[in-house]
Structure 1
Amino acid sequence: MVDIFAFSPTTVLLCVLAVLAVLWLLTQRPSGLPPGPPLLPIVGNALSMGSDPRITFKKLRQQYGDIFSVYLFNVPLIVLNGYSALRDAIVKNADVFSDRPHTLLNDFIARGKGVVGTSGELWREQRRFTLNTLREFGAGRNIMEDKIHEEISQFLEAFETERGHGFDCIRLVQNAVSNVVCSTMFGKRFEYTDPLFITFLKAMDENFSNIGAAAVLNVLPIVRFLPGDLFKFKKTLKNVDTITSLLLHPMIEEHLQNHDDDNVDDFIHAYIKEMRLRKEKQEDTTLDLENLTRVIADIFVAGTETTSTTIRWTLAYFLHNPDVQEKCFQEIQENIGQSRRPSMKDKTNLPYVEATIMEVLRRADIAPTALPHTVPHDVQFRGYTFPKGANVILMLDSVLQDPDVWGDPDNFRPGRFHDDTGKIIKKEEFIPFSLGRRVCLGESMARMELFLFLTTMIQRFKFVPVDGRMPSLDGIMGLTHSPRPFLMKAIPRV
């Protein structure tokens, strides 16, 4: 045991001053970094973050302005608020604000492949091909619309089996939306009782639920070595392996064996055709089977959770606003009737339905923070220094709920998207899918699904609460902002 009294008072004083100096250094932001709350040694601001970043960051914005920084342990996050700051960064300065940061989870799961978590030329080529293919399937050849209609038929049959009784639609909606992605990617849908489909959905659902806990490893990678699986890291990787080995690899192998360049009606066949074409031309390309596997997984993430969550939020708002639901139904009746199913050609004739979907996307705030961006080198932006590799958080919530833009953002009011003649107003601040080069990969698919699913659902059913019990409009923050479970009745319209 060391006897501190054996040291001279001067030595003890110097040791104390050294410790204080180290602690002081650990609480200082680098020169040029945006301002933010005081830092604690080691943990930074981690203890004061709270479970809902919208609340925490709104308070910090009021104190420090549209651009501020916080530290999660030793990881700096720079938070951008307001449409002007977001546009200036990811649209006007897209060349330096479009990269994704390196994170432990992304490095272990994606391994530098795919489109959501990559940067540079690999990302640009994968994204360009993916967007062009999905756009062609949606607009040019109606492949996607046909697949959505096929799924809607099965989905509505499942609704009808509830026979007007109270039920929670979460599983049915997730099944249907996931099946649309399956049809688009694989060229086939699954029965809702298919064991493989159930296993796949369970693994994907668990990862959506666990991602918040697992994300701790991005700021404290060392905790993955602790005994057990407190932060769901091992379970997350196991689920990724399950999805890949049981579904993605077998589907790709089946397509490779049966590929026909003249019969390209799903994403995998389109990717294989383009991959082989570029190799025949001896072009440098990142299109390969590893990237194909990861891109499919990315599209499931981009195209499943947000769309199914938006449909459920729409139903929750319908229960709270029966007048909005009825007005949507009357517009459908007047322009389509009930003798045929709605199509994308009807969209221009249903401006109130479209405005209602837009208002749900705005008010429900599905992805309030979007996915993080980073910068490839030190960047000067609005008087601050953004250090290389720093996480840049885009607060879409600060735009979608901005009273200076919307007037009464807390109110659910579809009419805000109409002009005096009833036509749709497209405000540039309406950015539920983000903006710039990293705008949501599944946006075109999601918009088509939302319109076709919801229009057909309103046409066929009236949605009412069970025994007057209204769903909470105070959602749950996770990978997305989702509604709490609720019961409703789907009454067939006659």
Structure 2
Amino acid sequence: MLEFLAEFTVLKTVASLFLAGPALLWIYFPAYFRRIWERFTGRIPPGPLAFPILGNIDVDRQHPELTFRKWATQYGRVFSFFLGDRFCIGLADMKLMRKVLKDDRFSGRANAGIFAHLEEDLTKGIAFSNGELWKEHRTFSISALRDSGNGKSDSSVYVEKETANLLAAMNSMNGTPFDPKHLFIGAAANVLSSLLWSGTFQPDDSSFNGFVSNIEKNLQEFANAVMMEVYPWLRKIYPFTNKFRRLNTRVGKAMGFLKNVVQEHKKTFDPAHPRDYCDAFFAIQRNQAKKAECDQTFTDLQLVRNLADIYITGYETTATFLRWCMVYIILHQDVQERVQDEIDAVVGKFRYPTPEDEQNMPYTKAVITEIHRISSFVPFAVPHCTTEDVELEGFAIPKGTEVWPVVCHHFMNSEIWGDPETFRPERFLDAAGVLIPGLVQEVQPYGVGRRACVGEPLAKAEIFSFFTSILQKFTIISPTAPSLVPVVTQVLAPAPFTMVARRRN
């Protein structure tokens, strides 16, 4: 609590300096008041009043998604706000997101803030890069993951293997309560590492556990990282100097882990027998090296950056969503029983469910979709940036404006869902129990447009296979009801909970 107060004391002190410094007033206020005037005249979208330089400091640090939902309700499906001195707009409607985010003029990536100041530059991977570098490596990544599986034949082998390992680990608990977090992380991470560099890790692997630990610690301090991302100059002010140093050290260790993976894997590269994503990368790297005039972007460092974006984001989000699945089926045993009945009817008890079964399991699909919607565990798609001046919904949007898809508002909009706070998978089914495609399409947790998640097919395949296989073999209960109040990390994660996997007959 004292640390929290100290952080905002710093902001208030800086605010006083800005208000008192005539030179700073002269430099910064004209741009600020120009935006305020443009709001007043209706030239740019409406939004909450912000402080010069500091922006909208009234965002709820514990639950920022609630602030954005409030703004969307108050100002409409397009609204404006300030993150520090950065002018941003929020999009709070899925139809509008689809229209806008497929437009190349909105395909830039937003300011990387504090991440551009780390010793390990995280702005050149798939997530934060722009221009030709982004296009080239995004296209490559989609192709390489597809050729390595990405939800198809090869990846299904890895998913089935990790499903078996996950079920065995749960079975070994012998009906005692356990926290599923690290079991889910291990399963999701091993599927990805199999596709990316043909490797897996055992639960007692110290290097992998150290890597995960560094990532988790950074996620636990995510609020601090966000503060420094909005105000990069905070890294030079106590107490943020120590926080930045810790962030920098942990990121360095995590990237060091991936650098070692790349170095070791390259030693066994055989161009005649490509195995995975890394080998596909090495093949292009070798071809580029033969062309002196070629701009060589396929470097070992670039590969490490790509792996960081795909691997860390991929396993963390998949594992987090699986935990939300457990939370909701624990709290809704009737829903769990209906899913189990559908699994028994379609799959039986003697083979693992596969993604191909999903088309014959509408209720299970509805449950997964409803958990995506009501958890809103990815409340915002990764922000985009306008690459030129554009017009949107009658508003003039300047070049360099950050564009935030506020997915959580759309998922909880009562005008669309009627009772958005109620967990009701049946909302996605018609009277005959058939999925309503138009309504299912309203739930797009992996993003839309030109920067949608490159691993979406794989993530969907993993989630369906893990979720249905668990319920095929076990009934999930808990000694105490898990909380629905999320913990803010990179995403909205469930609060820690334990569960019991009771073997089915």
TM normalised by structure 1 equals 0.89
CA distance in 2, matches of 1:77, 1:342: 44
Q: How is 1:56-455 mapped onto 2 (pairs within 5 angstroms)?
A: 56-91=67-102, 94-107=103-116, 108=118, 109-138=120-149, 142-227=153-238, 229=240, 232-245=243-256, 247-280=257-290, 284=295, 286-427=297-438, 428-455=441-468
Q: Confirm or deny that 1:46 pairs with 2:57.
A: yes
Name the counterpart of 1:476.
487
Contact 2:114 2:230 in 1 (8 A): no
Partner Cα distance (1:42, 1:278) in 2: 45
SS in 2 for 1:46: coil
For the 8 Å contact 1:375–1:389, the answer to whether it is kept is yes
Report the CA distance shift for 1:384/1:331 in structure 2 as closer, same or farther (over 3 A): same
CA positional deviation for 1:279 = 4.4
Taking structure 1 as reference, are residues 179 and 21 closer, same or farther at Cα in structure 2, changes over 3 Å only? closer
> Percent of aligned positions with the same letter in both sequences?
32
Q: CA deviation at 1:179?
A: 2.0
Q: Deviations over 1:412-440 (max 9, x none)?
A: 22222223443333333221111101112
Residue type of the alignment partner of 1:97: F
The structure-2 alpha-carbon separation of the partners of 1:370 and 1:296, relative to structure 1 and needing over 3 Å to count, comes to same
- Compared CA separation, residues 20 and 122, structure 1 to 2 (3 A): closer
Corresponding residue for residue 6 of structure 1: none
Deviation digits for residues 229-283 of structure 1 (CA, Å, limit 9, x no counterpart): 55722222212221222x2222212222211223222211122123324544675
Listed as ranges, the gaps of 5+ residues in structure 1 are 1-15
Q: Distance in 2 between matches of 1:48 and 1:425?
A: 36
Alpha-carbon distance between aligned partners in 1 of 2:123 and 2:150, rounded to the nearest angstrom: 31
Are the counterparts in 1 of residues 47 and 80 from structure 2 also a CA contact under 8 Å?
yes
Match of 1:28 in 2: 33
Q: Amino acid of the residue matched to residue 276 of structure 2?
A: D
Compared CA separation, residues 258 and 77, structure 1 to 2 (3 A): same
Give the CA deviation at 1:172. 1.6
Task: Tell me the distance in 2 between the aligned counterparts of 1:48 and 1:359.
Answer: 27
Structure whose alpha-carbon radius of gyration is higher: 1
**Contact conserved, 1:355 with 1:414, CA < 8 A, in 2?**
yes
Residues 151, 458 of structure 2: 8 Å contact kept: no
The CA deviation at 1:131 is 0.9
Distance change (3 Å), C-alpha of 1:241 and 1:451: same
The amino acid of 1:460's aligned partner reads: K
**1:337–1:257: structure 2 CA closer, same or farther, 3 Å change rule?**
same
* Structure 1 residues 352 and 211: alpha-carbon distance in aligned structure 2, compared to 1, 3 A threshold: same
AA of the residue aligned to 2:470: M
| Contact preservation (8 Å) 1:302, 1:441 | no
Further displaced range: 204-213 or 191-200: 204-213
Q: SS of the residue aligned with 1:152?
A: helix
Write the letter of the residue equivalent to 1:259. F
- What's the TM-score, normalizing by structure 2? 0.87
Amino acid aligned to 2:70: K
Are the structure 2 counterparts of residues 241 and 331 from structure 1 closer, same or farther at C-alpha, using a change threshold of 3 Å?
same
**Contact between 1:26 and 1:40, CA under 8 Å: does it hold in 2?**
no
- The question of whether the paired residues in 1 share the 8 Å contact of 2:487 and 2:495 is answered with yes
The alignment partner of 2:266 has SS state of helix
Cα distance in 1 for partners of 2:299, 2:359 equals 39
The alignment of Structure 1 onto Structure 2 pairs a total of residues equal to 473
CA distance 1:140–1:436, change in 2 (3 Å): closer
| CA distance in 2 between partners of 1:110 and 1:44 (Å) | 26
Q: 1:31-70 CA deviation, whole Å, 9 max, x = no partner? A: 3332222233443321355532322122222332222222
* Cα offset, 1:359, TM superposition: 1.3
Point out the more displaced range, 204-213 or 307-316. Answer: 204-213
Match of 2:5 in 1: none
The verdict on how the C-alpha distance between 1:141 and 1:262 changes in structure 2, with shifts beyond 3 A counting, is farther
Residues of 1 paired with 2:317 and 2:402: CA distance? 23
**Unpaired segments ≥5 residues, structure 2:** 1-19
Q: Which amino acid aligns with 2:268?
A: N
